[in-house]
Amino acid sequence: MGKYILRRLLGMIPVLFIISVLLFSLVQAVPGDAFTQQLNPHVDHKYIEEMREKFGLDKSPIEQYFIWLKNFMQGEFGISFKNKLPVSELISDRVGNTVFLAVITLIITYLLAIPIGIYSANRPYTLMDNTITTFSFIGLSLPTFFGALLAIYIFSFNLEWFPSSGTMTAGAGYTGFRLLLDKLHHVILPATTLAVLSVASYTRYIRSSVLEAKRQDYVRTAYAKGLPRKVVMRKHVLRNALMPLITFFGLDLGSLFAGAVLTETVFTWPGLGRLIFESTVNRDYPVMMACYMIIAISILLGNLIADILYSKADPRVRYD
Amino acid sequence: MPAISPDTVVSPLPNARKKHQSVWQLAVRRFMKNKLAVVGLITLFLIVLISVAAPFIATYDPNKPDIYNIDGEPDDQHLLGTDDVGRDVFARLLYGGRISLLVGLVSSIMIVLIGGFLGAIAGYYGKWIDSLIMRMVDILLVLPTLLLMLFVVTIMQKTTIWSLIAVFGLTSWPVTARLVRGEVLSIREREYVLSAKAIGCSDLRIIMKHVLPNVLPTIIVNATLLMATMILAESGLSYLGFGVAPEITPTWGNMLHAASNVTVLTDQPWLWIPPGLMVVLTVLSINFIGDGLRDAFDIKSTRR
């Protein structure tokens, strides 16, 4: 197992290297640079030249790439073009918010999707099941940001139940438990809109997975030897049907940092997704490069965790 | 079953063709029995119809500003009011459907062509071609597609319909390629491919005549669901302001962009709720159709 993990970790290096080259060349393909837009008669030409020199933009692209790579490996993500702050500072300010939002979203997803999926599978093709299926389809077809806009329109502006933006009440100075409540109050709306999509897809997955497990021979055998329905469900059906969820958990873990560009933008939630949006608008390439690389790393690690968890949960799967 | 006569052995073709047709007929019959799929098909047809017939339905030019009638509320002249430069929102909604549907259709065809081609040669030839293409797939799949699109769109100075379609095509093919490769891998080992090889058919002929027809159901279902995904992607990118500019042509996505203004969001819901609902309705009916097709062709469902 240790060998397997090591091999997978080493395998990530070339992938990350190619991704970084790819992203870097895309940036280089843009005519001009971050300071071209500032070129106008009111700005001293010398100043622009100085700034270019300061950010190393006067060097050749290949040289620039290796300087970037060397710094990145040392945890130096560079300086933001836009607000001249270290990129690592910008990112560490945001990561917590994104993770908080993602964790609450995951909790909502599991709390809703598992019971609904099982309920649906136990009464296939009834009115309730068909209703659930139809709603899952609507959930899958709803653009997340449109859901977010509707949620703000209905629950923030008309009903005034939840705040429409931010992570906490500014200037309220809450501490301890009160602060936690305030944060939860702010996170509920974005987390719920984000969860709509995942609840819909999880529900559909769990439903078909449970339905399939119920058709297996070992389930019939379990009934035949006289086990009560509850025991059969818990020990034979659910155990097998819900096993793949462990894999999804790993994958979800990996995409935690990918954030939700659209949802975070709609709710002006200061997370990584919003940072990506802002840096994209401003063509702030050091920030973009760092964010995308962090996301790539977390997704690769998430895939690895998914595979490890699955082999732990299912003794039939072995890696060596 | 009739005894095998010399006749059937000599000319297996008519027989094969008959059977071939019945697979498709069976699929059509099964599809028509699926109520949700048929409802989806009719709804999508109606949406396409009103978008194509937009010039006959809309009484206003979707791109013509009317400075004397800015931010108008819905009335019997302008069914959905006017926007911040006085353009008729109802007309824009109808014309916007054209672009959203076009982007969805053309980009999903493009993705299927690129992904299908690469997946087919990877699966059929194997060896280094397979490794090369599959590594490309792995690398592109590491980043979420929307982020990849966002990155590529940034480097373009101005987004047009066709550059948007190109970006969608270039970033979204990996899943299709992987899907097609898997199918081709298993078909390659079937007896009929082996016998085709034995009688000296060229690779091209085997791929076109024996492999492709068998992968087609998977590709059709994939293309349908991709169209839904691409319409969602267009609306998402346009909401962020990275889609086709509203001055060039209206799309449902760039109409939704208006809602990033808080005043529009709270006080003028008629500007952004209709295009949003149109997106939901279109994507929903396409998803119903895709699901119906998947059941009709009896393809094992994957996580979605």
Q: Indicate whether A283 and A161 sit together in one domain.
A: yes
- What is the C-alpha separation between A9 and B163, in angstroms, rounded? 37
* Pick from B240, B276, B303: CB nearest A262: B240
Average pLDDT, chain B: 83
To the nearest whole Å, the CA of A145 is away from the closest chain B CA by 7
* Pick from B142, B152, B279: CB nearest A26: B152
Answer whether B193's CB lies under 8 Å from B187's CB. yes
pLDDT of residue B303 exceeding 50, the answer is no
pLDDT along chain A (320 residues), means of 10: 87 90 82 62 70 72 84 82 82 88 91 93 89 91 90 87 80 78 88 90 90 89 91 88 83 76 87 88 85 89 86 72
Q: Indicate whether A197 and A245 sit together in one domain.
A: yes
Would you say residue A284 lies in a domain? yes
- What does the pLDDT look like over B213-229, one tens digit per residue? 888 888 999 999 999 99
Supply the CATH number for residue A132's domain.
1.10.3720.10
Would you say residue B194 lies in a domain? yes
- What does the pLDDT look like over B55-106, one tens digit per residue? 887 777 777 777 666 666 777 676 777 777 767 788 888 888 898 999 999 9
Local structure of residue B236 (DSSP, 8 states): H
Q: What is the pLDDT of residue B304?
A: 37
Q: Indicate whether A182 and A279 sit together in one domain.
A: yes
Would you say residue B67 lies in a domain? no
Q: Which residue has the higher pLDDT, B66 or B280?
A: B280
Residue-wise DSSP of B247-269: TT---HHHHHGGGGSHHHHHH-H
- What is the C-alpha separation between A167 and A269, in angstroms, rounded? 6
Q: Is A255 on the interface with B (CB under 8 A)?
A: yes
Q: Indicate whether A165 and A306 sit together in one domain.
A: yes
Answer whether A73's CB lies under 8 Å from A245's CB. no
Please, which pLDDT band fits residue B302 given cuts at 50, 70 and 90? very low
Supply the CATH number for residue B108's domain.
1.10.3720.10
Report helix, strand or coil for B63. Answer: coil
Chain B residues closer than 8 Å to A266 by CB? 260
Question: How many A/B residue pairs have CB atoms within 8 Å?
Answer: 110
- What ipTM was assigned to the predicted interfaces of this complex? 0.85
Number of domains chain B is built from: 1
Would you say residue B6 lies in a domain? no
- What does the pLDDT look like over B126-175, one tens digit per residue? 889 999 999 989 888 888 888 888 888 877 777 888 888 998 998 899 99
Closest to B79 (Cα-Cα) out of B67, B92, B95: B92
Would you say residue A238 lies in a domain? yes
Contact state of A280 with B154 under an 8 Å Cβ cutoff: yes
Q: Indicate whether A99 and A236 sit together in one domain.
A: yes
Would you say residue B174 lies in a domain? yes
Would you say residue A85 lies in a domain? no
Between residues 123 and 162 of chain A, which touch chain B (CB distance below 8 Å)? 134, 137-138, 140-146, 149-150, 152-153, 157
Range of B128's domain?
Answer: 24-61+72-297
Number of domains chain A is built from: 2
Q: Indicate whether A39 and A106 sit together in one domain.
A: no
Would you say residue A87 lies in a domain? no
Would you say residue A18 lies in a domain? yes
Contact state of B276 with A26 under an 8 Å Cβ cutoff: no
Q: Indicate whether A43 and A160 sit together in one domain.
A: no
Report helix, strand or coil for B88. Answer: strand
Would you say residue B190 lies in a domain? yes
Q: What is the pLDDT of residue A200?
A: 92
Would you say residue B16 lies in a domain? no
Would you say residue A86 lies in a domain? no
Q: Indicate whether A273 and A166 sit together in one domain.
A: yes
Range of A279's domain?
Answer: 94-313
Contact state of A15 with B157 under an 8 Å Cβ cutoff: no
> Phi and psi for A17 in degrees, rounded to 5?
-60, -45
Q: Indicate whether A123 and A57 sit together in one domain.
A: no
Q: Indicate whether A101 and A210 sit together in one domain.
A: yes
Q: What is the pLDDT of residue B55?
A: 82
To the nearest whole Å, the CA of A276 is away from the closest chain B CA by 9
Between residues 18 and 47 of chain A, which touch chain B (CB distance below 8 Å)? 18-19, 22-23, 26-27, 29-31
Would you say residue B14 lies in a domain? no
- What is the C-alpha separation between A238 and B82, in angstroms, rounded? 54
Q: Indicate whether A101 and A166 sit together in one domain.
A: yes
Local structure of residue B190 (DSSP, 8 states): S
Would you say residue B1 lies in a domain? no
